Amino acid sequence: MPEREQSMTQGGSNDAKAAKEEKAVIVAARFSVDQTAILDAAWAAQGFTNRSAFLRHAALVAAGENSQPPAMIEAMRDHRRELGAVGRNINQLAFEMNRRKKAGLPGLSEILCGGVVT
């Protein structure tokens, strides 16, 4: 799998992906001291590693590109882990139900519901 595709499928952060891409163009912007303080508080609060990563994200979002803050990426990663665990549990239940059916044993619903299946 190419390096770029691999980093995307493994859920790498925007900063990690951006670090792998060459950044040959510098775009400068001027801010007041107060505006800089607001920006610095915002990037720190949203989990960005530096001001440049935050400004790049903000500019891309404003331009209509899909860019997610680090906190959202981490939340999606956590949800993916949880969904994987649920899927494994469902597979284990299906395996056990099929095993019991083939062996002529009572099914899990009969055991759990005391013989009453609704």
Task: Please return the burial class of 48, using the count of CB atoms within 10 Å of its CB with bins 0-12, 13-18 and 19+.
Answer: buried
Length of the chain: 118
- The answer to whether 37 touches 51, Cβ cutoff 8 Å, is no
Could you say which DSSP state residue 17 is in?
Answer: H
For residues 48 and 105, what is the distance between their CA atoms, to the nearest angstrom?
55
Q: What is the pLDDT of residues 6-29, one digit of tens each?
A: 444 444 556 666 666 777 888 888
Confidence (pTM): 0.46
Which pLDDT score is estimated for 12? 53
